[in-house]
Amino acid sequence: MKRFFGACLLGLSVLCGASAVSAETIAEFYKGKVVRIVVGTSAGGGYDLYARVVARHLNRLLPGAPTIIVENLPGAGGLKAANDIYNVRPQDGTVILAPQADTLFAQIAGDPGAQFDSSKFHWLGSLNQEAGIAFTWHTSKVKTFDDLLKTEAIFGSSGPNVTGQLSSVLMNMFGAKIRQVAGYESVPRMYPAVEAGEIEGMTTLWSSLAVTVPQWLKENRINKIVQFALTRQSDLPNTPLIMDLLTERYLTPGYSPAEARTIMQFLMAQQAMARPFGVGPGVPADRVEALRAAFATLVKDGEFRADAEKAKRDIDFMDGPAVQTLVQEASRTPKETLRKIAIVSSPPAK
């Protein structure tokens, strides 16, 4: 009987201990903690700037008011950071990923360097919708989209992100005469290369270009070749929209306008969730919900909005569940379509 009651008491103590752990509140967990926002690009670019505005305000809105810092982990077009958060970092809600959206879609399309499943991250929201842009330096002979189909231009690339993917689309689907120079660490590293004449241009996000090198726009130092979005951007009224160019006149043999539109709609979906934030697949549900709630409150916060405006960061929020749905739907794209997308968005064989 003593052994029986002893076992019962031991069992109760274990249960009570487990209950005490599970009863830890969000505020208790985050109090005194350091939360890292890991950005898949180097400092100074658009993703980094968004993350730093978030870091300055999120602690006020997250229970426990943890210290929030930004960590840059560039490499492999954003794959290095996504792989790290998915496979290595703590799955406890203290590490937030700020990836390039096109990196996530590259995984869905089958990029072999992606050691993660984009649909299994817990998405907290996306701060903005974006447009891509292909541009050349003002001294380049390539000044228009039609020029790019006839005359070679040297474009830089930092991997399977917007710089590599959209340039490849132009080459594969439209026969653009692009010579792609890969190996750049990030987009901010390529801007000096353009000025120095190492490369003539690139494909990048319009907002990143406008904020990082605004003097180029003010001084008319670039040629805006084509914009990548589902609808025309109001501040690019005279730049051709890629969706309007999906015609037999421009498409290379083997791509029908209907097939090309399906491919581009998949690729342009990334622009709808262009500034995502997420946490690893093992983060507990209550912490995911607390982080999602904090982001939803953040985008309505007056101090945050004022800071974002000062930093020239547009805010057009898509909440966490909506981003989760968008990524999951993209993950269900038929394999044959994904195969074609992977071919289109990869550098053509030499």
CA dihedral for 31, 33, 38, 42, sign (positive or negative): positive
Q: Give tens-digit pLDDT for 232-270.
A: 988 999 999 999 999 999 999 989 999 999 999 888 888
SS3 per residue for 86-140: HHCCCCCCCEEEECCHHHHHHHHCCCCCCCCCHHHCEEEEECCCCCEEEEEECCC
Q: Is 53 helix (H, G, I), strand (E, B) or coil?
A: helix
Cα(222)–Cα(26) distance, rounded to whole angstroms?
Answer: 49
Residues 281 and 244: their CA atoms lie apart, in Å, by 38
Is the pLDDT score of 17 beyond 80? no
- Position with higher pLDDT, 23 vs 224: 224
Q: Which of 58, 36, 35, 120 is nearest to 296 (CA)?
A: 58
> Which residues lie closer than 8 Å to 316 by C-beta, 6 or more apart?
127, 128, 129
pLDDT of residue 270: 84
List the beta strands (DSSP E) in the chain. Answer: 34-39, 67-72, 95-98, 122-126, 132-137, 153-156, 178-181, 201-205, 222-228, 276-279, 318-319
Q: What is the pLDDT of residues 126-170, one digit of tens each?
A: 999 889 999 999 999 999 999 999 999 999 998 878 899 899 999
Instruction: Summarize pLDDT for 289-311 with one digit per residue, the tens.
Output: 999 999 999 999 999 999 999 99
The mean pLDDT value of the chain amounts to 91
Neighbours of 179 (CB within 10 A): 12
> What CATH superfamily is the domain 132-270?
Periplasmic binding protein-like II (3.40.190.10)
> What is the side-by-side order of every strand in the sheet holding 201-205?
178-181, 153-156, 201-205, 132-137, 222-228
Residue 350 has pLDDT above 80, yes or no: no
Task: Give residue-wise pLDDT tens across range 37-77.
Answer: 999 999 988 899 999 999 999 999 999 999 999 999 999 88
d(CA 57, CA 51): 10
Q: Given the DSSP bridges, would you call strands 67-72 and 153-156 parallel, antiparallel or unpaired?
A: unpaired
Cα distance from N-terminal residue to C-terminal residue, the chain: 81
Three-class secondary structure of residue 293 per DSSP: helix
Using one digit for the tens of pLDDT, what is the confidence trace for 162-201? 899 899 999 999 999 999 999 898 888 899 999 999 999 9
Are 296 and 195 a contacting pair, CB within 8 Å? Answer: no
Q: Range(s) for CATH 3.40.190.150 in the chain?
A: 27-129+272-333
List where CATH 3.40.190.10 sits in the chain.
Answer: 132-270
Whether 18 shows a pLDDT value over 70: the answer reads no
Tokens representing 211? 């904020």
Give the model's pLDDT for residue 2.
47
Q: Name the fold adopted by 27-129+272-333.
A: D-Maltodextrin-Binding Protein; domain 2 (3.40.190)
Q: CB–CB of 90/34 below 8 Å? A: no
